[in-house]
Structure 1
Amino acid sequence: MGSPNQPRAGKAALAVLLTAGLLTACSGTGEPGSGGDTAPASVLKGGRFDPPVTMTSWGCYSATYKYKENQSFEQNVGLDWVKEKLGIQIQYLWTTPWENDACLTKMRLSLSGNEPLPDVVYVSVDAKGRSILADLIETGQFMDIGEVFEKHASPAYKEILKAHPELWAFAARDGKRYGIPHTADPYVNSPVLYLREDWLKTLNLKTPGTIDELEAVMDAFVNKDPDGNGKKDTYGLALGVKNNWLEGFASTGWIFGAYGTVPTYWLKGADGSLQYGSVQPGAKEALAKLRSWYEKGYLDPEFAMKDPAKASELVTAGRTGVIDGPYWLPIWPLPDLKKNVPGSSMLPVMLPAGPGGKPGFNGGDSLLGVYLINKKYKTPEALQVYLNKMLQAGGKEKGSDVENGFIEGYDYKMENGAPVAVPDQRVDQILLGNGTPMIPERNVNSLAHLASGAAPRDGFDQGNVAYKDAHVPGSIMQKQLSFGIQNEFKGASTPTMSTKMEALRKMENEVFTKIIYGKEPLTAFDDFVAKWKSSGGDQITKEVNDWYQAAGSK
Structure 2
Amino acid sequence: MKKQGKRIAESRFLVGGITAAALLATVLSGCGKSETEKPAASSSPAPKQSEAAKTSEPPMEINWMLRTNVSALPENSYGQKYIEEKFNVKLKVTSIGYDDYQQKQKILLSSGTVPDVFYAATPADLKKFQSMGILAEVPMKSIEQHAPGIFAGINKYAASSWYIPNVEGKNYGLPTYYYSGQFASRAVWRTDLLKKAGIDKIPDTLEELEAAFAALKKIGVTGMTSRGNSEFAAFLQIFGAHGVMPTQWELKSGKAVNGATQPEAKQALTLLADWYKKGYIDPEFVTGKDTQQKVLDGKVAMFDYVGADTFPSWVEAQKKANPDAKIEMAPPPQGPGGRSTWAWGLTGNSWVFGKQLEKQPEKMNKILQIFDKLQNDEELYRGMFWGVQGTHWDYIDPAKGVEGGLKYLPPYNDGAERDKLGMDGSYANLFVQQPNPAIADKYYDQALLKVQREYNYPRVGLFGKADAVPDAGKYWPDMMKLKVETYAKIVNGTLPVSAFDDFVKQWNDLGGTVLEKNANELYQQLKIDK
In the superposition, the TM-score normalised over structure 2's length comes to: 0.77
The 5 A counterparts of 1:193-232 are 193-202=187-196, 203-223=198-218, 225=219, 232=220
Deviation string, structure 1 residues 430-484 (Cα, Å, up to 9, x no partner): 89856532345776xx5xxxxxxxxxxx5x14xx15xx5x455413144x24x54
- Out of 381-390 and 430-439, give the one that drifted further: 430-439
RMSD: 3.6
Alignment gaps of 5+ in structure 2: 10-33, 36-49
Residue 420 of structure 1 is matched in structure 2 by 407
Q: Is the 8 A contact 1:241 1:304 kept in 2?
A: yes
2:439 and 2:521 map into 1 onto residues whose CA distance is: 34
Structure-2 change in CA distance of 1:522 and 1:174 (3 Å): closer
Q: Aligned-pair distance for 1:327?
A: 0.9
Q: Is the 8 A contact 2:71 2:98 kept in 1?
A: no
Deviation string, structure 1 residues 68-96 (Cα, Å, up to 9, x no partner): xxxx433212211222233333223x443
2:140 and 2:462 map into 1 onto residues whose CA distance is: 25
Tell me which amino acid in the other structure corresponds to 2:302: V
In the alignment, structure 1 residue 527 sits paired with structure 2 residue 502: yes
Tell me which amino acid in the other structure corresponds to 2:487: F
Alignment gaps of 5+ in structure 1: 13-26, 29-44, 67-71, 226-231, 447-457
**Count of paired positions:** 469
Tell me which amino acid in the other structure corresponds to 1:266: W
Structure-2 change in CA distance of 1:511 and 1:155 (3 Å): closer
Residue 81 of structure 2 is matched in structure 1 by 80
Residue 338 of structure 1 is matched in structure 2 by 319
1:367 and 1:267 map into 2 onto residues whose CA distance is: 15
Match of 2:262 among 280, 286, 290: 280
Deviation string, structure 1 residues 128-170 (Cα, Å, up to 9, x no partner): x24434335x34x513242332123254762342342221111
In the alignment, structure 1 residue 516 sits paired with structure 2 residue 510: no
In the alignment, structure 1 residue 121 sits paired with structure 2 residue 103: no
Deviation string, structure 1 residues 46-76 (Cα, Å, up to 9, x no partner): 654734633523433336259xxxxx43321
Q: Is the 8 A contact 1:185 1:442 kept in 2?
A: no
- Tell me the SS of whatever aligns to 1:122: strand
Structure-2 change in CA distance of 1:505 and 1:415 (3 Å): closer
Q: Aligned-pair distance for 1:485?
A: 4.6
In the alignment, structure 1 residue 161 sits paired with structure 2 residue 155: yes
1:81 and 1:536 map into 2 onto residues whose CA distance is: 47
Q: Aligned-pair distance for 1:336?
A: 0.8
1:502 and 1:114 map into 2 onto residues whose CA distance is: 29
Residue 90 of structure 1 is matched in structure 2 by 91
2:478 and 2:4 map into 1 onto residues whose CA distance is: 33
Q: Is the 8 A contact 1:188 1:327 kept in 2?
A: no
2:384 and 2:98 map into 1 onto residues whose CA distance is: 29
Structure-2 change in CA distance of 1:221 and 1:391 (3 Å): farther
- Tell me the SS of whatever aligns to 1:11: coil
2:236 and 2:311 map into 1 onto residues whose CA distance is: 20
2:269 and 2:242 map into 1 onto residues whose CA distance is: 10
Match of 2:232 among 233, 246, 266: 246
Tell me which amino acid in the other structure corresponds to 1:118: P
1:47 and 1:161 map into 2 onto residues whose CA distance is: 28
Residue 362 of structure 1 is matched in structure 2 by 342
Q: Aligned-pair distance for 1:319?
A: 2.4
In the alignment, structure 1 residue 53 sits paired with structure 2 residue 59: yes
2:509 and 2:381 map into 1 onto residues whose CA distance is: 57
Match of 2:249 among 262, 266, 269: 266
> Taking every aligned residue pair, what percent have the same amino acid on both sides?
22
Q: Aligned-pair distance for 1:404?
A: 8.6
Q: Aligned-pair distance for 1:10?
A: 6.2
- Tell me the SS of whatever aligns to 2:309: coil
The 5 A counterparts of 1:94-113 are 94-100=94-100, 103-113=101-111
In the superposition, the TM-score normalised over structure 1's length comes to: 0.74
- Tell me the SS of whatever aligns to 1:544: helix
Q: Is the 8 A contact 2:163 2:468 kept in 1?
A: no
2:157 and 2:477 map into 1 onto residues whose CA distance is: 34
Match of 1:475 among 437, 449, 453: 453
Q: Aligned-pair distance for 1:297?
A: 1.6
2:520 and 2:491 map into 1 onto residues whose CA distance is: 31
